[in-house]
Amino acid sequence: MAQIVLDRLGARFTGGEILESGSEHGDEWARIRRDAWIPVAMFLRDDPSTKMEMFIDLTCVDRFGKEPRFDVVLHVYSVSLKHRVRLYCGAPEEDPWVDTLVSVWAGTNWFEREAYDLYGVRFKGHPDLRRILMYPEFVGHPLRKDYPKEKRQPLVRRQAGAPD
């Protein structure tokens, strides 16, 4: 469906920034080196032959037992050209971070906060990286595959009259 996107990425980034790419069931994808995450995103947004002006989704995958352990997964779409692509960026377990894409697509803000909250992947340069679903005293990241399902969390009592 969007082989042109993969072709443009391959032509523009020739220094190993694109680690691998492919197509499965009509969906094109590319794995991006961590230090090329922002340049690739900006290229896809600004290049006239790709025009990925619409951010769709950003999430994280815990590949427990493999390296890099975490994959940040980004879906973007070109409204005008009608093609989409999925990008992966790995984050190792010992230092799980990738650069924030808020300056490229403002809509990634809350999605990055969610990935941080639930998986512990940090987004360097994020304007407000704090928990979005779990309360501030929550210990750990509940969607990690090694998070113990019976883990007890600290009880936090709300003050009477405090806003919800």
Is the Cα torsion angle 141, 142, 145, 148 positive or negative in sign? positive
Give CA–CA dist 45/55, Å, rounded.
9
Identify the CATH number of the domain in which residue 83 sits: 3.30.460.80
Q: Is the pLDDT assigned to residue 67 strictly greater than 90?
A: yes
Q: Which residue has the tokens 């984050």?
A: 91
132 within a domain of the structure (yes/no): no
Residue 41 lies in a domain: yes
Contact 101, 58 (CB under 8 A): yes
Backbone angles phi, psi at 112, to 5 degrees: -65, -40
C-alpha to C-alpha distance for 157 and 164, rounded to whole angstroms? 12
pLDDT at 43 over 90: yes
Q: Domain for residue 114, yes or no? A: yes
Structure tokens at 104: 């490229």
Q: How far apart are CA 21 and CA 160, in angstroms?
A: 54
> 148 in a domain, yes or no?
no
Q: 96: pLDDT confidence band, cut at 50, 70 and 90?
A: very high
At 135 the pLDDT is: 87
Domain assignment of residue 66, yes or no: yes
113: three-class secondary structure by DSSP: helix
When the pLDDT of each residue in the chain is averaged and rounded to a whole number, the result is: 94
Residue 150 lies in a domain: no
Residue 154 lies in a domain: no
Domain count, the chain: 1
Pairwise CA distance, residues 82 & 152, whole Å: 47
45 in Cβ contact with 52 (< 8 Å): yes
Domain extent for 44: 3-124
The β-bridge relationship of strands 27-32 and 18-24 is antiparallel
**E strand or H helix that includes residue 27:** strand 27-32
Is 146 a domain residue?
A: no
What percent of the chain has pLDDT above 70? 96
